[in-house]
Structures are given as C-alpha cells and as structure tokens.
Amino acid sequence: MPARRSLRCPPVEAVPMAEPLSADTGARPVRVVRYGRDEPLPERRLLRAGPLTAVLEGGDLRYVAVGGREVVRRLYVAVRDRDWGTVPVRYEAYEAHQDGLAFVVRFTAVHDDGDAGFTWEGRITGTSAGVVTLSMDGVATRTFLRNRIGWCLLHPMDLAGVPVEVEHPNGATEPGVFPTAISPHQPFFDIVAMEHAAGEEGDGRLAIRFAGDLFEMEDQRNWTDASYKTYSTPLREPYPVSIGAGERVAQSVTLAVAAGASLALALGGEPGAEAMGVAVTVDAEPGGSLPPIGLAIAFHRAPPTEVEIARLRALAPAHLRAKLDATGEGWEERLGRAAEQATALGAGLELEVLTGDDGEGLERLVPVLAALGVPLARLLVFPASGLVTTAPVLDRARRFLTEAGSGAPVGGGSRAYFTQLNRAAAELPLAGMDVVGYSVNPQVHAFDEASLVETLAALATTVESARAIAGDRPLAVGPVTLRPRFNPDATGPAPEVGPEELPPSVDPRQLSLFAAGWTVGALRRLAAAGADALTFYETIGWRGVMERSRGLTRRARFPSQPGMLFPLYHVLADAAEFAGAALLPVATDAPLAVEALALRAGGRLRVLVASFRDESTRVTLSLPALTGGRLRLLDETTYAAATGDGDTFRRRVDRVIEDGAETIELELRPFAVATIDGVVAGAAP
C-alpha cells in the first residue's frame, strides 16, 4: 500500500472556491448561530484528587476518571417539580481552589422558577488519597409540590456488563451487574453504597457511599441518556409531595478510589483539553445502509408555498408523518392536508392515529384514507388514553385496512419514548404488528449541550434493545426531535405559555449549527444500529427544517427570519442525495467532541464531520483515497449563505482535496459541519 499522504486542503486557484474570511451570521450574535442563545457556555475547570480527575461545571462534577478511564459521568443536585420538570439553578458566592492533588469548592445554589423555590449550600472536596465528597444542605424558600430533591449520580453506560456490589441499609450486600440490554425497571433498590472496578481487572476499585436518603438506580438509556442513574427518593414513595417553606434537605455522596499499580495519574484525553486534536477514521467496508428518512408534518394555518414545497422536495422525504386523533373533530381536514403535502412531495404517509380504547374512530378514518389514494408507508395506532399499542386497537385497524383493500403495514409500539415500549414489551400485541416504533429526543433529563451530545451513543442502544423486543419486525424510529413533543409523565394539564415564551416543545437551537451537528450524529448512530425507517423533525416552523414565510412570533426567543433554512436542513439534504447508500463505519477518538457520518453510493463517497467544541478543533480525517475531492464548510462564516440561498450554498466549494489523499487535516470552527465529497480512487463515479 502506498504511503498515506496528509494535507491541509489549501485553496487551489484554478478552481472557483469561496474563501470565507470572517463571521457572516446574518446579523445574529455568533453564540446564537453556534448554539441558539446569546450567552456563554458554562465554564469548566479540570480538578485533580490523587489518582482521580474530574471536570467542574457550576455545582456539578462531570467525567470523573481514574487513570483516564471514566468511572462517573456526572454528579449533580436535581430539584424536580410535580411534573418532573427540572427547576433551573443559578450559583452565588462561588469559589473553587485546587491545591496540588486536592481541591475544595464552595457555593450557594438557588432554584427558583416562580412555583418552586429551594436554596442549598454546596461543598465539594477532593483529597490526595483519591476521596471526593459532595454535600448539599438546603431549605425550601416557599411551599411547593416536588417529586425529587437531591443528588443524582450518573454512571457511564460503558459500565454495561461490569459486576457491581450493592450495600443495603441493613448492611447486607447484593452482587449484580450493570445491565447490558436496557433494563425496563430499576436494577437495584435501597442503596446506601456500591463498589465496582475502576478499570481492567486489577486496576483498582471505586467505592460510592450515599447519605441523607435512600437511593435506587434506573437505566437512563430508556430516555436516551448515556448513563445509569442512582438517585433519591425511591419511586415507590408517593409523589408529588409538598415540601413546606423552611423545610430542610441534606445529603452527601462520597467517592473513594483505591487505585491499583497500573493506574498512573493521567490527564491526557480528559474533557477540558480543548486544544487537543481529534482523529476520525472512515472504514472502506460498508457496515449497513442509510434507511428511508421522512419528516413530520407541521400543521400551520397556511399551506406550504411553492418555494417551501420546492425546498422540501430537495430533501426527497420517503414519507411524511401526521398525527391524527380519530376520537375528536377535525381529523378529516388534517388528513386531507397531509395527503396534499405528501402528493406534492412525492412521499408516502406515515400516520400516528389515536383512537378509542376499542379502536373507535378507525371505522371512519380508514375508508377516507383509502379514498385519498396516497401511498401509506405505515399506520401506527394507539389508544388515546394510553401511550402504547393495545390488541383491541391493533386488531380493529388491521380489520378495517383489510376491508379497504390496503396492504399497508400496521403496527405501533410507543407514541412516547423507548421507555414505554420497553416497560410494555410483555403486553404488546407483537404477533399482529408489522412494524414497531417509538420516538426519541435528547432532553428528558438534561438540557445543556454536553448532555445532548452524550445522548448520541444511547440512541444506538435503544435500537439494539428495541430489536430484541421486535425481533425481525421493521423498526420505525421517530419523530426524532430536539425537545419532547409532549410530557408523558405530566400529572395535570400543560401550563399556559406566555405571549413572549416558547412552547416547551420548541428549542431555539433548532436554527443553530449545534443542531446540525447533533443531526449528523443521530443519523449515523440510528442508521448504524439498524433502524429501518427514520422520521426527523417537522417540515416548516419552530420544530422544522426551515422557517415559515410569514406570521413569525416570539422573535426575541427564536430569532429566525422568514423562509430561512435551518443548518440541519443541509445535513438532511446531504443524506437525501445519498438515499439508500451504504453506511461506512466511522471511529472517532473523542466522540463527545466530534461526530461523523460516511456514505458511499457506487464510487461516490460523502463524509460529514461535525464539531461540538466551542472553539476551533483540529481533525485528522483518514478515509479511502479520493479523486475530485471537494470540501464545503457549514460554520459561522457561511451561516448567512446556508440559511438564505440554499441552492448556491450547496454548490459551494471551500477547498479542493488533492487527488489520492488518504488523510485530510481539517480546522473546524466552533460547532462547524464539514461535508467532504469525492470519488473513491479507482472506482467508477
């Protein structure tokens, strides 16, 4: 094999190229362009306690590691309201000191959202012996209904299959393992302490002790968090409960590391080493294929314009997903509009239909659907009173489809999260289901950018566990959204949204570079895990791939422009141009910093590389040798072009890649996405 050649993709004068010189954000603050809001990301500080390292972020410890091996993903205090909403926190009187191999952090944390009020004093200490203690001592500042207040410890999902010993209040110990398949219910109850290996056998042990309440563990991969969570108070206790003004809560968590001889103190590779480069490798042999990708319909008052239809047609959606409530009024009009849009885009329909408990409403809906003559990609049915498909609803849907002469797949699963599918697996009418589905989003428990990136690895795990439930039935994952579509755990009606507030299903990051990068990772992870169909976002509007042409509101909260394309549009367009292509395996040595997606159709190769760092990042990309290679950058210098004249942007060339290069050095600006195109050397285009 010839020696690999490395280059930095310099401009080549003979080829027309764009050479961005400065940010072009369309008059938006650069932070809004990067991640949707004009405020700095949380400051991070690397701490050391003997053989242990951790990243301090506010009152949280993240990425606790021993000898470079992560043993704890995160430690934080959660204040959850009656609907499991997270009450925001701000920090006061904050100080942090590192002294050699020891540290101390002190602060005051204030949770206040109008209904809930809780303030606590926090202290985190680390000793040179490898002992870290986190304590909180707080008081309710007003009476409110709460579901949880206290420490949460996230164990990294890489611990799957690792033995763990759990201690109970009576002193008895219970041997077990971190679940491999996603556990539908709590793996361990009544925890006061636990201990497990801190690395390979003989490398050392991590002991964790809790005080102030009784703790238990849940498998957060159910909600696409890349972790197991040990938390208080046990869920068997009634909730919500009232906490009175002046009532105190005090808890502590202690980590103690007993390091083996092979665990030397290591800082290399720890989060926070932002100047480090990242290596990404693309395998030449296919590892699956890109499944059909569709969009959910946004039911706005005005139908899509001709320009909007043309832009959506460029995404070549395999289907449009529409949600219909067959128990109520207005579904006929919604179905008609959905059929019109599907016809205009040359797409099929994926219907999510809510019915009565015995399938009432389907007897009217199915004949209307058959008369429309629009291809039905799949029909997913659920009782409006529940979250998972039941036998009566499924049986009735199948009977009416058969009577209407339709051979469309019928099925269901969960209309909420994978959680509900997992917990109902034994009761699902799988024998009668042609397809199994569930939706995903990265913001059930945490909302910061780092936590959203962490969920990408867990997306694949949900597909793998869903496959164990569904067998060889196709898996339809979606809608994939940035925020939950609704709160399946709410104990009452959704609160009213103020005139200047965004609905809880809307995230201003929808128009950001960050969302484009997250979409790259979600596409790669879900496709590589074997999902058979995907639905992403909506067509138009706050939750869509582009903004509406008129009628925009809440511009201060969601600073879009009429008709603008969101950066994630171009990620889906890049995938659409390689519909059904082979998926090439990708490896990155810093998956929380850089994601990538590689597609091959015949001799053509396309690689998308996305950065999640808030500063420039060097990426060394190794891939099959290319000819005619071109590079296009989606970053803060090209944002205005990408969101404005999308056609011109998509023809843009920012770099020409030297023929035969197998290694490409990229310099990515914060949250940038690079698209590399070319023909594999020696292959026909």
Look up residue 591 and give its two tokens. 């998956």
**Are 332 and 449 contained in the same domain?**
yes
Amino acid 15: pLDDT: 35
Amino acid 497: pLDDT: 83
Q: Tell me, what CATH number does 613's domain have?
A: 2.60.40.1180
d(CA 546, CA 558): 13
d(CA 555, CA 550): 12
Amino acid 490: pLDDT: 78
Amino acid 90: pLDDT: 94
Q: Evaluate if residue 503 carries a pLDDT over 80.
A: yes
Residue 557 lies in a domain: yes
More confident residue, 15 or 474: 474
Residue type, 614: D
Query: Which residue bears the tokens 């703790």?
Result: 215
**Are 82 and 155 contained in the same domain?**
yes
More confident residue, 203 or 258: 258
Look up residue 638 and give its two tokens. 């090209």
Residue 170 lies in a domain: yes
Residue 1 lies in a domain: no
Amino acid 265: pLDDT: 40
Q: Which of 576, 596, 631 delimits the end of a domain?
A: 576
Return all residues near 261 (Cβ < 8 A) that are at least 6 apart.
none
Return all residues near 344 (Cβ < 8 A) that are at least 6 apart.
304, 309, 313
Amino acid 273: pLDDT: 43
For 302-336, what is each residue's pLDDT tens digit? Answer: 889 999 999 999 999 999 999 999 999 999 999 99
d(CA 47, CA 252): 19
Domain extent, residue 26, equals: 6-34+274-283+583-680
Amino acid 260: pLDDT: 60
Which has the closest alpha carbon to 295: 349, 354, 344, 335? 349
For 122-148, what is each residue's pLDDT tens digit? Answer: 999 999 999 999 999 999 999 999 999
112 close to 87: Cβ distance less than 8 angstroms:
yes
**Are 55 and 192 contained in the same domain?**
yes
Q: Tell me, what CATH number does 199's domain have?
A: 2.70.98.10
Domain total in the chain: 3
Chain Cα centroid distance, residue 545: 17
E strand or H helix at 365: helix 362-372
Q: Residue 430 in 3-state DSSP?
A: helix
Residue 266 lies in a domain: no
Q: Evaluate if residue 7 carries a pLDDT over 50.
A: no
For 351-381, what is each residue's pLDDT tens digit? Answer: 999 999 999 999 999 889 888 888 999 999 9
> Phi/psi at 498 (nearest 5 deg)?
-65, 165
**Are 465 and 612 contained in the same domain?**
no
At residue 499 the predicted structure's pLDDT band, cuts being 50, 70 and 90, is confident
Return all residues near 552 (Cβ < 8 A) that are at least 6 apart.
560, 562
**Are 528 and 452 contained in the same domain?**
yes
Average pLDDT, the chain: 91
**Are 358 and 438 contained in the same domain?**
yes
**Are 554 and 587 contained in the same domain?**
no
End-to-end Cα spacing for the chain: 22
At residue 495 the predicted structure's pLDDT band, cuts being 50, 70 and 90, is confident
Coarse DSSP helix, strand, coil percentages of the chain, rounded to the nearest 5 percent:
20, 40, 45
Q: Evaluate if residue 270 carries a pLDDT over 60.
A: no
Amino acid 484: pLDDT: 96
**Are 448 and 463 contained in the same domain?**
yes
For 81-93, what is each residue's pLDDT tens digit? Answer: 988 889 999 999 9
Amino acid 493: pLDDT: 77
Residue 269 lies in a domain: no
Residue 685 lies in a domain: no
From the number of C-beta atoms within 10 Å of its C-beta (0-12, 13-18, 19+), residue 134 rates as buried
Chain Cα centroid distance, residue 549: 28
Q: Evaluate if residue 515 carries a pLDDT over 60.
A: yes
**Are 242 and 314 contained in the same domain?**
no
For 149-195, what is each residue's pLDDT tens digit? Answer: 999 999 999 999 999 999 999 999 999 999 999 999 999 999 999 99
Which has the closest alpha carbon to 541: 324, 292, 304, 321? 304
Q: Which of 576, 599, 628 delimits the end of a domain?
A: 576
Q: Evaluate if residue 651 carries a pLDDT over 80.
A: yes
Q: What is the CA radius of gyration of the chain?
A: 26
**Are 550 and 599 contained in the same domain?**
no
At residue 683 the predicted structure's pLDDT band, cuts being 50, 70 and 90, is confident
Amino acid 202: pLDDT: 61
At residue 12 the predicted structure's pLDDT band, cuts being 50, 70 and 90, is very low
**Average pLDDT of span 19-37:** 79
**Are 511 and 596 contained in the same domain?**
no
Q: Which of 551, 576, 601 delimits the end of a domain?
A: 576
For 212-257, what is each residue's pLDDT tens digit? Answer: 999 999 999 999 999 999 999 999 999 999 999 999 999 999 999 9
Q: Tell me, what CATH number does 315's domain have?
A: 3.20.20.80
Residue 563 lies in a domain: yes
